[in-house]
Amino acid sequence: MSRPDVIAGPGKVAAIRDLLIRVGRANRWSVAHTDIWARAWGKAAGVPAEIAKIHVTRSRARPVVINDELVARLQKVADAFTDAKFISVTVEVADLVTELFNDTVALAGAG
Digit-coded pLDDT (tens) for 75-89: 999 999 999 999 999
CA dihedral of residues 23, 105, 78, 4 (deg, nearest 10): 100
Is pLDDT above 70 for 12? yes
Report pLDDT for 60.
74
What residue type is assigned to position 37 of the chain?
W
Q: 37-51, pLDDT tens digit by residue?
A: 999 999 999 999 899
Tens of pLDDT, residues 94-105: 998 889 899 998
3-state SS assignment for residue 60: coil
Cα–Cα distances in angstroms (integers) from residue 90 to residues 42, 78, 84, 110, in the given order: 37, 8, 12, 30
**pTM for the whole structure:** 0.72
pLDDT of residue 59: 82
Binned at pLDDT 50, 70 and 90, residue 5 comes out as: confident
Per-residue pLDDT tens digits for 29-78: 988 999 999 999 999 999 998 999 999 988 877 778 999 999 999 999 99
Q: Which amino acid, residue 21?
A: I
Residues of 56-67 as b/e, b for ≥16 C-beta within 10 angstroms? beeeeebbeebe
